[in-house]
Structure 1
Amino acid sequence: MRTRGGVLIANIIAGLALGYTVANIGFGDYAELNRMFTFQDLRMFLAFGGAVVIIVVVFAMLRVRGTPGRIHAGVIPGAVLFGTGWAISGGCPAIPIVQVASGYLPALVTIAGVVVGIRACRWANAKYFHLDGGSCGR
């Protein structure tokens, strides 16, 4: 039987392992990410590709099936904003945490931007767009 404490410990261990791996691959290094986004170094893209291959194999082994429904109206603008923010700041929402843990304190500005962006998105959606957030918007 799984306990809350056991699940919490497993999540902490998995999070630390992921953070360690991400930091050692170079995803926490702004310069590495900049070289990836400016196509100067394809190593990071190959890491992404390797991750996609691994998850496809795991999904096939687990026989994960499912077809996505309609594309949510916020997916395309959200993806554009997410990618733009990642390219400018050098980090998606989790990477600045790795950067701060590695001693790169300017990443605190990125974390603040993520918090402000989430709040601004919720405000704009409630006031203007009224898009169904599904399981992610709550």
Structure 2
Amino acid sequence: MRTRGRLLLANLLVGLALGFTVTRIGFGDYAELNRMFTFQDLRMFFSFLGAVGIIVIAFALLRVRRDAQRVHAGVVPGAVLFGIGWAISGGCPAIPIVQLAGGYLPAVITLAGIVVGVRLARWAGGRGLLRVERGSCGG
């Protein structure tokens, strides 16, 4: 099998494992996410903390270092909009796909909102209203 085929297979297997895990811990369930955002159940927050802890350990073991850089001006407003969208829709960009696969049809609206948001970011970036860097949604 060629390297590209192996990479595709590895990505497919990791994606399936991630989708399964996300579904099992409740990230695809709108009610579960709503309980997290309304602080009725902190289990999801602990899942996030566990994920961050695993990444910190992995980065330390792999000796991943980043140079200290100034935070891009769009990070904070972008994070706020992302959080608001996530709280309203019950899903960040990957979750609506998991929800749709599980039969939750309102996820189509979330996916449409993601597409509109990316298009708006590209539009704003093309008019100089938004600084869009290569590799971001508009790059």
Bucket of the pairwise TM-score, normalised by the shorter protein = over 0.9
Cα distance between partner residues in 2 of 1:90 and 1:29: 8
Cα distance between partner residues in 2 of 1:59 and 1:120: 34
Pairwise CA RMSD:
1.5
User: Structure 1 residue 93 and structure 2 residue 61: aligned?
Assistant: no
Identify which range, 109-118 or 64-73, moves more after superposition: 64-73
In the other structure, the counterpart of 2:121 is 121
**Alpha-carbon deviations, 1:82-116, whole Å to 9, x = none?**
01000000000000000001110110110011001
Cα distance between partner residues in 2 of 1:43 and 1:66: 30
Give the aligned length.
Answer: 138
Work out whether residues 86 and 92 of structure 2, in 8 Å CA contact, stay in contact via their aligned partners in 1: yes
In the other structure, the counterpart of 1:77 is 77
- C-alpha distance 92-130 of structure 1, shift in aligned 2 (>3 A): closer
**Alpha-carbon deviations, 1:36-78, whole Å to 9, x = none?**
0000000000000011111111111111112241211211111
Name which structure has the greater RCO, CA cutoff 8 Å, separation 6+.
Answer: 1
Work out whether residues 121 and 130 of structure 2, in 8 Å CA contact, stay in contact via their aligned partners in 1: no
Identify which range, 2-11 or 44-53, moves more after superposition: 2-11
In the other structure, the counterpart of 1:16 is 16
5+ residue gaps, structure 1: none
Q: Secondary structure at the match of 1:65?
A: coil
Give the Å deviation of 1:129: 1.6
In the other structure, the counterpart of 2:29 is 29
Cα distance between partner residues in 2 of 1:38 and 1:123: 34
In the other structure, the counterpart of 1:60 is 60
Identity rate of aligned residues, in percent? 67
In the other structure, the counterpart of 2:111 is 111
Cα distance between partner residues in 2 of 1:128 and 1:61: 40
Q: Secondary structure at the match of 2:12?
A: helix
Q: Secondary structure at the match of 2:127?
A: helix
Q: Secondary structure at the match of 1:129?
A: coil
Letter aligned with residue 33 of structure 2: L
